[in-house]
Structure 1
Amino acid sequence: MKKWIPTILVVLVLIVGWIYAANQNYFREEEAVKVQLLGIQSDDIQSITIDDLSTGKTEAEDSSSSSAQLELKDGVWSMVEPKAYPLNGYTISSWLDALSGAEQELVVEETPTDLEKYGLGSTASRLDIKTKDSRDITLKIGGQLPADDARYVQVNSGPVVAVKSESISNIELTRHDLLDTTPFNLDDTNVASLDWEGEAATWVLKSASEDGAADRTWTLNGETVESTEAVSLIGKIKNLSTADDVRKASELKNAVPRFTLSVEQKVNGENVTDVYRGLTVASEPGIIYVITPDGQWAYSLQADVLQDAEKFPDTVKAADDAGTGSEDSTSSTE
């Protein structure tokens, strides 16, 4: 028995040591330290150029190019190239946060000699970023990693790193992604009236409620209409969106008026009326261009998507007739 005592003591020491080490987290794998991809904050960015190199053509040569240049001026982001297109402020803010918050997962190659194999060559997506302290940052986005959950990325002439595909999807935006694509600036809680004058119909939708009323009532051409129908129409108009780049209204030649929509809203306690015009051109019979109230921009919409607005009275009448028919049927069975 005595000859086993040293062995038992050694085993006990090992067990005690293992328990102590486990309690001190000696066996826990260290989590990989996340490294910020660009090393900047969103407030540091002064300008961004989107270089669309996939087409191999410049903006002037290829209308499908997504190249653009954006600058921060007096605290407001604006597009300066190819044109001063109106931007979606929410999208811009989210984009800047995505750029500053992106993290690299791992270093793929410290000193790359062949960028083409990572998709980081001549056809890579590229962002040229300038900071407020005059630093220049070039971000190139390449192909997918074999695991398909990350993309190859290079910052300036540094190493090739992996960045999660989810992060890249929030960074690799096109020019069109950044535009304000909705021509009608409506807040359904503030709308007091809509006045439509067009070829197929003329109607006036008005709120018959006092300001601040919890349950709003509406009239259509002086007749009471269901609130749900009025709110639905306002929502549909508000959410109409173009799939194309916005055009300068002055570019439309020989345009023919199709409709006008006057929108009265309560803004900061004041009644404000905006007038939108719908125009058509002979070369594009299926398109209606909506001109913004300032007369600057033309948004192209398919003519049929505006039918819900144009034929709103017919929709209401059909719903009323259906309701009346249902009531008559119920009465006859009784």
Structure 2
Amino acid sequence: MKRLLPTLILVLVCIGGFWYASSQDFFKEKPEQLPALVQVQSGDVERFTIQNGEAVTTLERQDGKWAMAMPSPLPLTSYGADAWVSSFVGLKKDKVVTADATDVSSFGLTEPKVKLTMQAAGGVEQVLEIGDKVPVGAAYYARLGGAGDVFQLSEGDYMSLVKQPLDFMDKNAVLVEYDKVRGLSVSWKDASWTLTKTEPDKSAFESKWTLGERELAGNEALGFLDRAASLLTDQLPRRAAEVQGLGQPELRLELKNAAEDSGESTVTYTGKVEGDLVWIVRAGSDWALAVPMASVQELADHAKEK
């Protein structure tokens, strides 16, 4: 038995090693990593165009920042264009349908409805054509550069790339940076109130606040800030100069924020009613954003609930 003991130990070690290797997928063939569809770095992209039918949206870098060149300038988010570029340069062929296809009429690619054009530094240009949706599954037929393989583009990639101007726009009518807020004042028609942070060195949630002469806990104050931050638009903006009557607004909202020099800065918003919308303009901005009047009314009425 003693002679067999080393052999038994060796067998147990081998079994244990095999079990561990199997649990770590050492014996499974790893799937082939598909190469990127385009060999371009995100930071080198200078311009891109989304053509969807007759609608054309173009964004381009200007002085290091993204701007909308077509159909018209808009206030943009800081992340929308970068996210689009990351999605484009990260594309892979999910599945090749026909290699080096010559007849693409059955894929909706003879005159594709959607064309995505990306232009990068050094004169690099890539055009992705998107045709019909595949009969079975969540994907679309596509090809690069108007030639070569027809492949499947996943519906997720399609949704992240086929955008309209509103998708890139900053929809916040009022910018609320919670922990920087020192005070919020609202005057809407006959209602008027002021929310003030009484412990400026604490976070919005941890601080105590006052609403007029009433003291509020942080979680109660967040209800006011949430409603101000929820003043969002779902339509394209107008130039502030086009909004009539802003000199006599129904809405006046002021946000006092902590400044970098330990002081305070005040941002003023005014709003004018048109139908069931309130067009809100931030002082110094060229843009007016429309929000539902019901949302403004909810913000104003929140003080009555406290």
TM range, smaller chain: 0.7 to 0.9
- Measure how far apart 1:312 and its partner are: 2.2
Aligned length: 278
Larger Rg: 1
* Contact kept in structure 1, 2:238 and 2:287, CA below 8 Å: yes
What TM-score comes out, normalization by structure 1 length? 0.76
- Measure how far apart 1:180 and its partner are: 0.7
Q: 1:207-246: per-residue Cα shift (whole Å, max 9, x none)?
A: 0113236720010113212322211220221132211012
Which of 265, 268, 277 lines up with 2:257 in the alignment? 265
Unpaired stretches in structure 1, ≥5 consecutive residues: 1-26, 57-64, 317-334
CA, structure 1 residues 117+252, in 2 after alignment: closer, same or farther (shift >3 Å)? farther
Find the counterpart in structure 1 of residue 156 from structure 2.
Answer: 166
Distance (whole Å) between structure 2 residues aligned to residue 223 and residue 93 of structure 1: 45
CA, structure 1 residues 222+151, in 2 after alignment: closer, same or farther (shift >3 Å)? same
Match for 2:241: what amino acid?
A: S
CA, structure 1 residues 219+148, in 2 after alignment: closer, same or farther (shift >3 Å)? same
Distance (whole Å) between structure 2 residues aligned to residue 117 and residue 175 of structure 1: 30
Secondary structure of 1:163 counterpart:
strand
Which of 268, 274, 281 lines up with 1:275 in the alignment? 268
Is 1:244 equivalent to 2:235 in the alignment? yes
Q: 1:161-188: per-residue Cα shift (whole Å, max 9, x none)?
A: 1122222222222221111111111111
Is 1:155 equivalent to 2:147 in the alignment? no
Find the counterpart in structure 1 of residue 64 from structure 2.
Answer: 75
Is 1:36 equivalent to 2:27 in the alignment? no
Match for 1:314: what amino acid?
A: K
* Contact kept in structure 1, 2:94 and 2:151, CA below 8 Å: yes
Is 1:178 equivalent to 2:171 in the alignment? no
Find the counterpart in structure 2 of residue 14 from structure 1.
Answer: none
- Quote the sequence identity (%): 22
* Contact kept in structure 1, 2:112 and 2:129, CA below 8 Å: no
Match for 2:240: what amino acid?
A: A
Match for 1:178: what amino acid?
A: F
- Measure how far apart 1:32 and its partner are: 4.1
Secondary structure of 1:215 counterpart:
coil
Find the counterpart in structure 2 of residue 227 from structure 1.
Answer: 218
Match for 2:268: what amino acid?
A: V
Which moves more between the two structures, 215-224 or 110-119? 110-119
Distance (whole Å) between structure 1 residues aligned to residue 258 and residue 107 of structure 2: 54
Find the counterpart in structure 1 of residue 294 from structure 2.
Answer: 304
- Measure how far apart 1:298 and its partner are: 0.7
- Measure how far apart 1:29 and its partner are: 6.5
* Contact kept in structure 1, 2:185 and 2:254, CA below 8 Å: yes
Q: 1:147-170: per-residue Cα shift (whole Å, max 9, x none)?
A: 313221121122211122222222
Find the counterpart in structure 2 of residue 208 from structure 1.
Answer: 198
Distance (whole Å) between structure 1 residues aligned to residue 237 and residue 112 of structure 2: 27
Q: 1:268-313: per-residue Cα shift (whole Å, max 9, x none)?
A: 23411100111123xxx11100112223111111101111211122
Which of 163, 183, 190 lines up with 1:193 in the alignment? 183
Find the counterpart in structure 1 of residue 16 from structure 2.
Answer: none
Distance (whole Å) between structure 1 residues aligned to residue 104 and residue 77 of structure 2: 34
Which of 53, 61, 74 lines up with 1:85 in the alignment? 74
Distance (whole Å) between structure 2 residues aligned to residue 109 and residue 96 of structure 1: 27
- Measure how far apart 1:254 and its partner are: 4.6
Find the counterpart in structure 2 of residue 146 from structure 1.
Answer: 135
Secondary structure of 1:189 counterpart:
helix
Q: 1:123-158: per-residue Cα shift (whole Å, max 9, x none)?
A: 522222111111121112222223313221121122
Distance (whole Å) between structure 2 residues aligned to residue 127 and residue 147 of structure 1: 24
* Contact kept in structure 2, 1:206 and 1:220, CA below 8 Å: yes
- Measure how far apart 1:110 and its partner are: 2.9
CA, structure 1 residues 97+263, in 2 after alignment: closer, same or farther (shift >3 Å)? same
Find the counterpart in structure 2 of residue 24 from structure 1.
Answer: none
Q: After TM superposition, list the pairs within 5 Å mapping 1:123-134 onto structure 2.
A: 124-134=113-123
Which moves more between the two structures, 114-123 or 295-304? 114-123
Q: 1:34-80: per-residue Cα shift (whole Å, max 9, x none)?
A: 13122222112100112121xx4xxxxxxxx4x22111122211112
Secondary structure of 1:103 counterpart:
coil
Instruction: Tell me the C-alpha RMSD between the 2 structures.
Output: 2.4
Unpaired stretches in structure 2, ≥5 consecutive residues: 1-26
Secondary structure of 2:58 counterpart:
strand
* Contact kept in structure 2, 1:190 and 1:265, CA below 8 Å: yes
